[in-house]
Amino acid sequence: MSSPMFVERYITGLLILFGLFMPMSLDADPLRRVGILNYANASDVRVIQFRDALRDLGYLEGQNLALTERHADGALSRLPELATELVAAKVEIIIALGPAVWAAKQATTTIPIVIHSSGDPVRAGLVASLAQPGGNITGFSLALPETDGKRVALMRELLPDLRRLGVLEDSGNPYFRQARDDLDQRCSSLGVKAVFVEFANAADIDGAIARMARQRVQAVLLNRGGKYWNNRSAIIDGAMKYAIPASAAIMGFLSAGALLTYGNVLDEQFERQAAFVDRILRGAKPADLPIEQPTRFELGVNLKTAQALGIVVPQSLLLQASEVVPV
C-alpha cells in the first residue's frame, strides 16, 4: 500500500501538471480591447480595411480582439459623446478616423490614440511634431500638400485649357479649411483658380455642384474622407449631370465614374495603422512612435468617362496609370 506521503506527493504533482496545461482562468480577459471613433458611418471603407489589416496581424475578433465602434454618421457634434463612451468602455487604444481625433483628444490624455487623418496634425496642434509627437497621439497622416498639387497638375495635363477648378469640401471637416491656402497657392502656380464649395450632407451635393457649374468651373477636385466615399455615386453623377470631370484621391472612385484618381495606395495606410496598434498593444508608447505618411502612390484614368465628356486622354498620362477603365 502506498504511504500517505507518497499519495500526497502524487496528488501535488498532478495538480502542478494540471495547472500547467489547463486553459486560462475564466476570470481573465484574453481580449485586447480596441475602440474605433469614426466621423463617417459603419460602412466606411477605412473601417473595413482596418479590420482586415488587424486580422492579417493575427488579431481575430471574438478570439483575442474586441472591437468597440462608434460612428457619427457625418455629424461632427456627436463625436464628443461617442468618444466619452469609448473611454467608459475601457478600451486600450482609440482609432480616430478623420476629424474624430479632436473629440478623442478631449476625452482622454492617457489612452493611446492612433489617427488616420487627412489633415496636418502639427498645424492642427494635435502633436508637437511628426517625428516626436509626444503625448498619447500617433498614427498615419495623409497631409501631403504636394500630393494635391500633383492632382491639379495631372488635371491640367489632361485638360490644357483648365483655368477654374472646383474643390468640393466637407463642411464638417475643419482640416480642409486649414489647407485651403496651400491648395490655392498650388493652383495659382499652375495658372488655375481654385473655387471652394462646401457640402454638409448627401442632400447638399447636387446644390453644391450646381453652384460650381454657375461659377463656370471646368473640373472638380474631391478631397479624402468617409463622407466622400459613402456618397461617391451621388457626387460623380452630379458632376456628370453638369459635364464636369472629377478627380478623386482614391482609386475606388474610378468605378463610380471619376475621370482621374491620384492618391496613396490604401493598403499601405491600413497596414501601417494596424502596425501602430500592434506595437502599442505590445508595450510601445505613442509619444515614441513617429507619425507616418504615405510613400506609395497610384494613378487611375477612366477612358469611358473621358469619351462621355469628349476628352482625349494623352498617351503620356496613360503610360503613368496603374489602372485604366476601358471604353
The pLDDT of residue 37: 97
The pLDDT of residue 227: 84
Task: Average the pLDDT over 179-187 and give the result.
Answer: 90
Write down the architecture of domain 32-143+266-288 according to CATH: 3-Layer(aba) Sandwich (3.40)
The pLDDT of residue 138: 96
Angle 134-136-139 from CA coordinates, rounded to 5°: 85
The pLDDT of residue 266: 82
Task: Average the pLDDT over 311-322 and give the result.
Answer: 95
Lowest mean pLDDT among 18-22, 78-82, 122-126, 176-180: 18-22
The pLDDT of residue 178: 77
Whether 147 shows a pLDDT value over 50: the answer reads: yes
Whole-number Å distance between alpha carbons of 321 and 300: 5
The pLDDT of residue 317: 94
Whole-number Å distance between alpha carbons of 197 and 16: 71
Whole-number Å distance between alpha carbons of 258 and 242: 13
Task: Average the pLDDT over 174-187 and give the result.
Answer: 85
Whether 290 shows a pLDDT value over 70: the answer reads: yes
The pLDDT of residue 6: 52
Whole-number Å distance between alpha carbons of 133 and 289: 7
Whether 41 shows a pLDDT value over 90: the answer reads: no
pLDDT in tens, 246-267: 999 989 999 999 999 999 888 8
Whether 214 shows a pLDDT value over 50: the answer reads: yes
Give the closest residue to 186 by CA, choosing from 156, 211, 161: 156
The pLDDT of residue 38: 93
- Regarding pTM above 0.75, the answer is yes
The pLDDT of residue 12: 52
Task: Average the pLDDT over 193-216 and give the result.
Answer: 95
| Residue indicated by cell numbers 492579417 | 56
User: What SS3 state is found at 256?
Assistant: coil
The pLDDT of residue 23: 42
Q: Give start-end residues of each CATH 3.40.50.2300 domain in the chain.
A: 32-143+266-288, 145-264+297-325
Whole-number Å distance between alpha carbons of 267 and 282: 23
CA-based R_g, the chain, Å: 25
| Mean per-residue pLDDT over the chain, rounded | 89
Tell me which fold the domain 145-264+297-325 belongs to: Rossmann fold (3.40.50)
Whether 311 shows a pLDDT value over 70: the answer reads: yes
Angle 51-57-63 from CA coordinates, rounded to 5°: 70
Whole-number Å distance between alpha carbons of 107 and 90: 12
In Å, how far from its chain's centre is CA 24?
36
DSSP class of 61: B
Give the closest residue to 324 by CA, choosing from 263, 261, 235: 261
Whole-number Å distance between alpha carbons of 136 and 288: 9
* CB-based contacts of 186, cutoff 8 Å, min separation 6: 145, 148, 149, 152
The pLDDT of residue 13: 54
Q: Is the dihedral of CA 38, 40, 46, 48 positive or negative?
A: positive
Strand order in the sheet with 113-117: 65-71, 32-38, 93-97, 113-117, 137-141
Give the closest residue to 305 by CA, choosing from 214, 243, 250, 216: 243
Whether 306 shows a pLDDT value over 60: the answer reads: yes
Whole-number Å distance between alpha carbons of 117 and 309: 33
Lowest mean pLDDT among 8-12, 109-113, 206-210, 283-287: 8-12
In Å, how far from its chain's centre is CA 270?
8
The pLDDT of residue 29: 46
Per-residue pLDDT band for 40 (boundaries 50, 70, 90) equals confident
The pLDDT of residue 155: 96
The pLDDT of residue 173: 78
Whole-number Å distance between alpha carbons of 80 and 103: 5
The pLDDT of residue 44: 83
pLDDT in tens, 234-247: 999 999 999 999 99
Whether 26 shows a pLDDT value over 60: the answer reads: no
Lowest mean pLDDT among 101-115, 186-200, 215-229: 215-229
The pLDDT of residue 175: 75
User: What SS3 state is found at 141?
Assistant: strand
CA distances from 49 to 119, 213, 267 (A): 20, 35, 8
Residues written for the chain: 327
Cβ–Cβ under 8 Å, residues 197 and 166: yes
